[in-house]
Amino acid sequence: MSDNRLSVLKTYKLFVGGTFPRSESGRVYEVTDAKGQWLANAPLASRKDARDAVVAARKAFGGWSGATAYNRGQILYRVAEMLEGRRDQFIREVADGEGLSRAKATAQVDAAIDRWVWYAGWSDKTAQIAGSANPVAGPYFNLSAPEPTGVVALLAPQASSFLGLVSVIAPAIVTGNTAVVVASEKSPLPALSLAEVLATSDLPGGVVNLLSGRTAEIATPLAAHQDVNAIDLAGADAELATELEKAAAENLKRVLRPQAVDWAADPGTGRLLAFLETKTVWHPMGA
């Protein structure tokens, strides 16, 4: 067999509504490694792509939020299973994109896979820590229960292209939200490859929608969108975050401000509870 094979270069695409469209404008941008060498062309998403992703996320919200917590946990665990089978691919993409040694990239990828499992385990336990039975004066039960906020825009961290990405997606969706995710601008390839895993897992189309391109260009219409209920600014710098917060105020979006995060540390429950609303009901005790 000849060794002079033609290289089959990977074509990366967006992930919207469970399908893989090219960017609406057909634009791409060059992704390079830490030394400036070309790795791939990534789709350069537009405002139209952002709006399409919101439509897909809203369409998927009813079914996903209505699924049992146990079922959502099973699906997150299935994502971890599938990532385990493509572990080497993600190690290579993280190492190239972030300029890490194979050992450090392996640690990042393994932690990301474990994080899917960790949040899967939280799926049917969130109500125990976010809900309550409230003492009231009168013959009533007063119960508070958490509910998902709705469509959440997630700006993935710029520096942690895979572990940070998973650390913002998993807690948002395990509680029943649907997401429009803006990948790391400099290192989007792990995010775009994650889309291939999500598409072939049991995750319904539209629950996670992944866009790559210029963070500010995509995030601006998402922050102002009237059908986006919350936004995580993890991947925004201080100046952009201020602009996005102002736009988000138009429809009183819930905003998670950017902060210094060690993505390798125990994530706690902060993001798990960040995009939940509380529904309180009164019920007569009866005779």
Residue at 18 is within a domain: no
Residue 148: the pLDDT is 97
Tokens describing residue 143: 């119960």
Residue at 6 is within a domain: no
CA angle 217, 186, 10 (to 5 degrees): 105
Residue at 5 is within a domain: no
Residue 94: the pLDDT is 96
Burial 35-66 (b: 16+ CB within 10 A, else e): eeeebbebbbbbbebbbbbbbbbbebbeebbe
Residue at 145 is within a domain: yes
Number of structural domains (the chain) is 1
- C-alpha torsion sign, points 213, 157, 197, 110: positive
Q: What is the mean pLDDT of each run of 10 residues along the chain (287 residues)?
A: 75 96 92 92 96 98 97 97 96 95 97 97 93 90 94 96 97 98 97 96 96 97 97 96 96 93 93 94 82
Decide if 116 contacts 170 (C-beta within 8 A).
Answer: yes
What are the distances in angstroms from CA 179 to CA 72, 103, 118? Answer: 14, 31, 19
Residue at 115 is within a domain: yes
Q: Domain range holding 157?
A: 28-284
- 175 CA to centre of own chain: 12
Tell me the CATH number at 47. 3.40.605.10
Residue 34: the pLDDT is 85
Helix (H) or strand (E) segment spanning residue 48: helix 47-66
What are the distances in angstroms from CA 205 to CA 30, 57, 69, 198, 210? Answer: 28, 9, 18, 9, 11
Residue 9: the pLDDT is 82
Residue 286: the pLDDT is 72
Segment 40-96, tens digit of pLDDT: 999 999 999 999 999 999 999 999 999 999 999 999 999 999 999 999 999 999 999
Residue 35: the pLDDT is 87
Residue at 196 is within a domain: yes
Please state, in angstroms and rounded to a whole number, the distance separating the CA atoms of residues 211 and 183. Answer: 6
Residue at 10 is within a domain: no
Kindly report the number of other CB atoms within 10 A of residue 119's CB atom.
Answer: 28
- Helices H / strands E in the chain, number of each: 10, 10
Residue at 13 is within a domain: no
Please state, in angstroms and rounded to a whole number, the distance separating the CA atoms of residues 234 and 99. Answer: 21
Residue 176: the pLDDT is 97
Please state, in angstroms and rounded to a whole number, the distance separating the CA atoms of residues 13 and 28. Answer: 10
